[in-house]
Chain A
């Protein structure tokens, strides 16, 4: 699985995270993800899967171990984390759109301020992205005027506007009404089909089966097992995974 010769996009090695209050959130988690791969992380709540995802763009710092993104070490003091984050897009459970800006302005903000591109150029590509996520009609709406599914699609467009090499999804459909889950998953599927490197924390087992190249199971801060979706969901050896799948499927 962890092919050492092939260059990996993400290499996490023995990642440990201990919160100041003593909570041991991650215990020696190692995972490497190749370019273009779609990895889905599942596990019960409190298993550390979101925490692990957030260490990949250093929204959470780690206590021990190492993480390399596209060859750049995140634990190296000399690394400019902002430059790494420009290449790693993130989509949040609660969308976190900027409420004081319209949908289009949300998408335009980072390319304007971080990449310092010309405004007409940024507007043009932002329009294309809004079209791509199926929201060309709602560009001038404020987030409060959009449904949850629409907001999450704007959030995906906002992350894509930086033209990242990796996309992280932190339970992107968990805060959505059931009828809106599909529209967001469709955008994610088309993204996967285009060869984007994706790490997805989700409870959508259907998505994992259909889109993932690999499925990872985490519990109590440990990476318990990982496999291709076919083998993963047929797994009968691992007792902890069996118990979890028995509860959710």
Chain B
């Protein structure tokens, strides 16, 4: 066999077509070596994600998807909470009280073992559902307090110009409330990232469960758990930083 200009050519002893290898990163043999079947002649290098990195990605995915749903649930529940319609209002209050009055862990079990079984949901869907319903209740209260903190004169001015309730909300009230609720929202988003560690109890391999698995196989709790904590800190720190930048940008009109 010959090695020439990053091309390995293996010539069979019994004659026949030579076997050519072109794509490789490191060579295990020299020019003119005799090789046998099963010998390693070259290798390809690549970076593969370890269990912690996969766990981090799962935590990120869980948090982002749950956050989007939680924002929608929170916005509509918050609006329903201050609605003049008593049915809508009471429904919102009941939901908020039910969710805030029970532990997230119990809700995750209910979503996975009861609702998940009935509706045939997979783990990830059940986990996202539990997290968004839980966080949505808290966001609803933040949205409500944000809207109620805007002076009633703003709504009156908007309505006096002929805007409908929805137009006044979307153009005048919500943009102002959004700015005012950013700090408590950021806190809630950070809580969501941390709360997502609880879904490891329904065997979703998020950052926490990945950490437990790595500890079980390496017996190095110190290094692993500190790494896990650090990775959570990177996620939440990044989020805090983003929200702070957004706050700065929105403060132009102050």
A residues with a Cβ closer than 8 A to B are 57, 59, 82-83, 85-86, 88-90, 92, 94, 96-102, 109-110, 113-114, 142-144, 155, 158-159, 162
B157 lies within 8 A of A92 (CB): yes
Complex Cα distance, B171 from A88, in Å, reads: 20
The interface-forming segment of B87-95, B172-180, B188-196 is B172-180
Known: A96-B151, A100-B179. A114 touches B161 (CB 8 A): yes
B157 lies within 8 A of A114 (CB): no
Which B140-182 residues have C-beta < 8 A from chain A?
151, 153-154, 156-164, 167, 171-172, 175-176, 179
A110 lies within 8 A of B161 (CB): yes
* Chain B 76-94 per-residue mask, 1 if CB under 8 angstroms from chain A, else 0: 0000000000000000000
Quick check: is B252 within 8 A (CB to CB) of the other chain? yes
Provide the residues of chain A in CB contact with B171, threshold 8 Å. 109, 113
Quick check: is B218 within 8 A (CB to CB) of the other chain? no
16 contacting pairs across A/B (C-beta < 8 A): A59-B160, A96-B154, A96-B156, A96-B157, A98-B172, A98-B176, A99-B253, A101-B253, A109-B172, A110-B161, A110-B163, A114-B161, A142-B252, A142-B254, A143-B253, A159-B160
B151 to chain A, nearest CB (A): 7
Complex Cα distance, B253 from A96, in Å, reads: 15
A92 lies within 8 A of B153 (CB): yes
Complex Cα distance, B253 from A155, in Å, reads: 17
Provide the residues of chain B in CB contact with A82, threshold 8 Å. 159, 162-164
Q: What is the number of contacts between chain A and chain B, taking CB atoms within 8 Å?
A: 69
Chain B residue nearest to A84 (CB atoms) is B162
B159 lies within 8 A of A59 (CB): yes
A98 lies within 8 A of B162 (CB): no
B174 to chain A, nearest CB (A): 10
B167 lies within 8 A of A113 (CB): yes
Complex Cα distance, B175 from A100, in Å, reads: 8
A158 lies within 8 A of B161 (CB): yes
Residue from the set A97, A99, A143, A162 with the largest chain B CB neighbour count within 10 Å:
A99
Provide the residues of chain B in CB contact with A85, threshold 8 Å. 159-162
A110 lies within 8 A of B162 (CB): yes
Provide the residues of chain A in CB contact with B151, threshold 8 Å. 94, 96
Q: How many interface residues does B have (CB within 8 Å)?
A: 21
* Chain B 215-254 per-residue mask, 1 if CB under 8 angstroms from chain A, else 0: 0000000000000000000000000000000000000111
Complex Cα distance, B163 from A109, in Å, reads: 10
Complex Cα distance, B159 from A88, in Å, reads: 11
Complex Cα distance, B161 from A177, in Å, reads: 26
Complex Cα distance, B161 from A159, in Å, reads: 7
A86 lies within 8 A of B157 (CB): no
Provide the residues of chain B in CB contact with A158, threshold 8 Å. 161
B171 to chain A, nearest CB (A): 6
Provide the residues of chain A in CB contact with B161, threshold 8 Å. 85-86, 89, 109-110, 114, 158-159, 162
Complex Cα distance, B157 from A109, in Å, reads: 12
Other CB < 8 Å A-B pairs besides A89-B160, A98-B158, 10 of them? A85-B159, A85-B162, A86-B162, A92-B153, A94-B153, A96-B154, A98-B157, A109-B172, A110-B163, A114-B161
Complex Cα distance, B156 from A85, in Å, reads: 11
Provide the residues of chain A in CB contact with B167, threshold 8 Å. 113-114
Known: A82-B162, A162-B162. A100 touches B253 (CB 8 A): yes
Provide the residues of chain A in CB contact with B156, threshold 8 Å. 59, 92, 96
A123 to chain B, nearest CB (A): 17
Provide the residues of chain A in CB contact with B172, threshold 8 Å. 98, 109
Complex Cα distance, B171 from A59, in Å, reads: 19
Chain A residue nearest to B178 (CB atoms) is A100
A73 to chain B, nearest CB (A): 18
Provide the residues of chain B in CB contact with A96, threshold 8 Å. 151, 153-154, 156-157
Complex Cα distance, B175 from A98, in Å, reads: 10
A125 to chain B, nearest CB (A): 15
Chain A residue nearest to B160 (CB atoms) is A90
B157 lies within 8 A of A142 (CB): no
Complex Cα distance, B162 from A86, in Å, reads: 5
Complex Cα distance, B171 from A86, in Å, reads: 17
Complex Cα distance, B254 from A137, in Å, reads: 19
Known: A100-B253, A101-B253. A114 touches B154 (CB 8 A): no
